[in-house]
Amino acid sequence: MRITSLLLLTLPALLCSTGAPAQEVDCTVQVNYDAVPTTNRDLLVNLESDIRGYVNNYNWGVGEPGEKVKCTLNIFVQSVTGENKYNAQVFVGSMRPRYNSDQSSAVARIFDEAWEFTYIKDRPLNKNPNIFSDLASFLDFYMFLIMGYDFDTYDRLGGTPLFQKAADIARLGRSSGSKSWQTSTTSYSRAQLIDELLNPKFEPVRIASWQYHFNGLDSLSVSPGRGFANMIGALEMIDRARRSVDPRNLVIRCWFDAKYLELAQVFQEYPDPSIYQRLDQIDPGNQKTYDQYRAARK
């Protein structure tokens, strides 16, 4: 793990406690199929347990198992499109612990509105990285994505190998012809997100995520002034990137979707309330929340 010289000098205890990012997941899986006709529901009764076993019994990282990444898959099956074929919407979330705190920090919060998949009751879910499966490959993609996001918070661009694995799956999805795996510039798409995460134009955002979490948020309990300074520096990095890329990008939008509420809350402890005006400028989509928290300080 790359560690800044600043932390080497000032936060030796942090180095021992934070350690390496996790390799496995502890994923809470919930499947809701209330929208499915009653005659089809019996075919989905094992879907939740099958997915839970699939994602939780595998080492998704690039090294030895460690503390597991906490994550969530909330699956809302919307319709039956054919024999054993379904459409669903999925919320994907993950979090990581904050150093020397009983609080956690949201890392990913993604809502995928268009998952098309095939599920056959009592048929095992098998992992094959070279063959596309509209069910298993979807799960693989998001587990690698979650792991990549987690690695990026502990090490500068540390998630790249995991993002590359997710990109390989997205390429298989595109080549399969599945509409939900195609790149879109008007709404969320898996292909667009992973392409952007590996695009050098967005490296500053990923580096800022490491700066924000590892050098900032994790430092607050040891050196609040330095922690806040690093967090603000990370936000300025993201703002510079924001002004130089297509405003329809997903990387920055997804970052603030995960972090805006934490930003609003954590800066309650920052001595200068004008930080909320800066947040309004950097992340105008969540201005209402920032303004509410700024008003609460008065």
CA trace torsion 229, 263, 60, 183 (10° rounding)? -110
70 and 26 in contact (C-beta within 8 Å)? yes
Residue pLDDT, tens place only, 63-116: 666 679 999 999 999 999 999 999 999 999 999 999 988 999 999 999 999 999
User: pLDDT at position 22, please?
Assistant: 58
Three-class SS of residue 272? coil
Strands laid side by side in the 85-97 sheet? 25-32, 69-82, 85-97, 104-118
Q: Is the dihedral of CA 228, 234, 236, 239 positive or negative?
A: negative
Its pTM stands at: 0.91
187-208 b/e with 16+ CB inside 10 Å = b? eebbbbbbbbbbeeebebbbbb
209 and 144 Cβ atoms separated by less than 8 Å: no
Between the CA of residue 102 and those of 256, 266, 268, what are the distances in Å? 22, 14, 18
Asked whether the CA dihedral 139, 142, 148, 150 is positive or negative, the reply is negative
Span 182-191, mean pLDDT?
79
Least confident of 16-20, 132-136, 185-189, 273-277: 16-20
Task: Write out the H or E segment, with its range, that includes residue 140.
Answer: helix 136-154
Cα separation, 290 vs 264, in Å, equals 5
pLDDT over threshold 50, residue 294:
yes
61 — pLDDT class (breaks 50, 70, 90)? confident
